[in-house]
Structure 1
Amino acid sequence: MTEPALAPRNAYHGVFAVWGVALVAAVVLGIVLPEADRVPWLLVAFGIIVLLSFAVQLFYAQVEGFIVRLSASVVGALVVMGLISVGFGIAALIPAF
């Protein structure tokens, strides 16, 4: 007697998790670091996010749609971190009172 196959995990949860990590990382780095140090550290954080994207998608172990999910993770994280950095850049232009 064979056992029924379990339903596969939804691998798109990993995409949203990576986006959340990118959001948190960009906000924390933007708040903690001075203006001159933000861009280099955001680049380092993005490199770590790319590696995290690979790790998360390899954890799900689903071959179908791997490239789509990985690219969605990386491009989404890039957009999230880019929008946060634009916000901090605009905030840096406003003089402090």
Structure 2
Amino acid sequence: MSTPDLAPRHTYAGVVAVWVLAAVAGVLIGIFAPEQWRAQWVAVALGGCVIVSFAVQLWYGRSQAFIQRMALSSLGALVVLGVITIGFGLASLVSG
């Protein structure tokens, strides 16, 4: 049995930080990547977000709900990048 934390950290701040990282990466991909390479770069960004979410959740040092926080941060990054990718697709239809 372990002792409870006296001042537990806010564990969902790391989840939201990964979502913000995914949004920033998606916008940067939209600005700097050529149109034919955007899908590949979005996949790379998602992989980077998963690695960052592992690092952030391990940094917290709490084993309670680790899997749920990892799933939430990874799925959130997937949704954020998916919405941005849909925006890329709609923009290419309008401009093309």
Structure 1 length as normaliser, TM-score?
A: 0.90
Q: Point out where structure 2 has 5 or more consecutive residues left out of the alignment.
A: none
Q: Point out where structure 1 has 5 or more consecutive residues left out of the alignment.
A: none
**Correspondence for 1:79:** 79
Q: Structure 1 segments of 4 or more deviating over 3 A?
A: none
After superposition, residues 51-62 of structure 1 pair within 5 angstroms as: 51-62=51-62
SS of the counterpart of 1:63? coil
What is the alpha-carbon distance in structure 1 between the residues aligned to residue 56 and residue 48 of structure 2?
12
Measured against aligned partners, the alpha-carbon deviations of 1:43-71 in whole angstroms (never above 9, x if no partner) come to 11111110000000000011111011100
Q: Percent identity?
A: 51
**Correspondence for 2:40:** 40
Aligned residue type for 2:45 = A
State how many pairs are aligned: 92
Structure 2 length as normaliser, TM-score?
A: 0.91
Cα RMSD for the two superposed structures: 1.1
**Correspondence for 2:63:** 63
